[in-house]
Every structure is written in C-alpha cells, then in structure tokens.
Amino acid sequence: MQRGWYIILGPAKTGTTVVARTLLNRVTPDGFSMEPVSRHELEALRGAKRIGVKIIFDTWREQLTDLTAVCAGNEQAGVPTTICLIRDPRDELVSRLHYFAYSFFATRPTTEEQRASWVRIFQKKEADPGGVSLLDMEEELWRTFGEGFRPPPELHRSYQQFVEGLRAIPANKCHLLHYEDFIERRIPPDLNRFLLGPQLVHPLEQRVHRSGSKGAWHRFFTDHDTEFYNRYFEQYLTTFDYPLVRNVEIGPPVSSHTGSAYVARLIDEARASYTQASGQKSPMS
C-alpha cells in the first residue's frame, strides 16, 4: 500500500459510505476503490499515489492476514491512513434489516407478490411498533423467503479483535471512529483534517442512506429484542461502551418514511437493476 492512501473500514451498515465520501471531498485523492474484495485488487492500484479505499469487513473475514497487511503497509511504500468505524450493532442490525431487500431482489427474478409480501412485513411493524418485534420480522422473512439478514456473532467478535490488533500501527495512521460521533459532528481532533465537511452521499449511492440517525434500536426493538440482542452482542457492546438499557425516548420513531416506503423504493431499484443486468423484460411493464 502507498503513503497517501486512505482506508475506510467497517462492517456493513456502519456508515462506511458516508464517511468515505466525506473524506474524499476533504482530501480529494486521485481515485476511489469501492469495496474491493481481495488484496489482489488493491495491488493493481499500487501505482496510485493518493487513493481512497472503502472496505467492508464482512467480505474480508476469511482474509484477515491480507487485510492486516493492507492496513499496516510497509517501510518502502509507507503506511496508509486507516479509519475503523464502530457503530452500535443493534442500530446496525436495524439498518441491515431494511437494506436486506436490495440484495434479495437484485440477485434473482421476483414477482409483484413477493414485493408486496416483503413490504407488508414492515407495514405490520409500523402499525404496531410495540407488538411486532424485530425477531418476529426476522422469523417471517425466513419463513416467507428462506433467507436471513442477521450477521453471525463471530463477525463482530472478529472485527473487535482485528481493530485491537491494529494498535501496533503508528497511532497517527490508525484511527477509531464511532459512527454516532461522526453524524453528530463530534469529530475527534486527530480526524478533523479528514472529516470536517459536508456529510454527503454520491447520487448513485443514495439507496444506502436511510435515516442518518443514531439510537433507532431503542424504539424499533421490543423488550424481547433487547434481551436477546444484548446477549448476542454482549462483548462488543461492553468493549465499546454502548448502553444495555433501552430508552424509548431515544432515537427516531418507527415510520413508513424510513421503513416500508424506503424498502419499497429499494426493492423497485433492485428489481430494475436485476432486469437490466439479465436483459429480461421489466417486471413493471
């Protein structure tokens, strides 16, 4: 890797896109590598002096030795600046739930009935926020569509260990950033020169931007969800000082704007993308 490279790293739905775009607007590198999946992809860019790289940790979990080497750099080429994102995994889970529709509908032929069934799951939640749990929604997705969105517990344990292992990198080259601090513009002093600026998402990436908020889990979860997922993410929550107590006065309310309506738009975009990629007739026509 090269001196002058900037790496934004985090699990899916932790704000990597908006942080990467904010950094790119600030430091204006020569190019941007969007979610490379291997070290080989990055080696092909070795000649670039200044480049931004957005890495989703999920896709590198089986390549941690390579990922460590990417972040550590070397004496000859230098050490890239790496920003590791941390987000409350319960908020991350709510985001994963809503975005899951895109990966499902963009990768196979689907029907209007499937679209309606998927959106209806979110409408049920909006009609009875306290009575329909996230676990209920997850179960219905599995039962109806045969797939789930929940990351394995090993993902966050592995990411936590990876971030702790990066302490060997010089402190001025490896930074830890809480997503919650970023969206409230509480930028750590050592990141001011990179991240003070408009928090904008590229027009082609607008689908990843749903609410731009924090604490959604407080109102989206039920007590059952809280008990289950506090155990599920216990070590990660404790390590990064996230509260275990649910407070229904915190976070945005459950609404169709960031729920069923957002998911419906996402599905329509995903189906159009699949149709274009496969050369099939539009399901809308």
- Give the dihedral sign, CA 42/195/98/279: negative
pLDDT at 285 over 50: no
Would you state the pLDDT for residue 196?
A: 84
pLDDT category of residue 282 using cuts at 50, 70 and 90: very low
Mean pLDDT lowest for which of 52-66, 74-88, 253-267, 271-285? 271-285
Q: Cβ–Cβ contacts within 10 Å for residue 216, how many?
A: 24
Domains delineated in the chain: 5-88+152-201 (3.40.50.300), 89-151+206-278 (no CATH)
pTM: 0.90
Alpha carbon of 25 to those of 36, 71, 125, 203, 275: distances in Å? Answer: 20, 22, 37, 14, 33
List, in sequence order, the alpha helices (H) in 28-152.
39-43, 64-72, 89-105, 112-127, 134-145
In angstroms, how far is CA 187 from the centroid of its own chain? Answer: 19
What digits encode the pLDDT tens for the residues 186-211? 999 989 888 987 777 666 555 555 55
Structure tokens given for 208: 């990843």
pLDDT band at 79 (very low <50, low <70, confident <90, very high): confident
Q: Which pair of structure tokens corresponds to residue 266?
A: 């996402």
Residue among 143, 219, 155, 113 at smallest CA distance from 14 = 155
Instruction: Indicate the helix (H) or strand (E) that contains 274.
Output: helix 260-278
82-115 pLDDT, tens per residue? 999 999 999 999 999 999 999 999 999 999 999 9
By three-state DSSP, how is residue 22 classified? helix
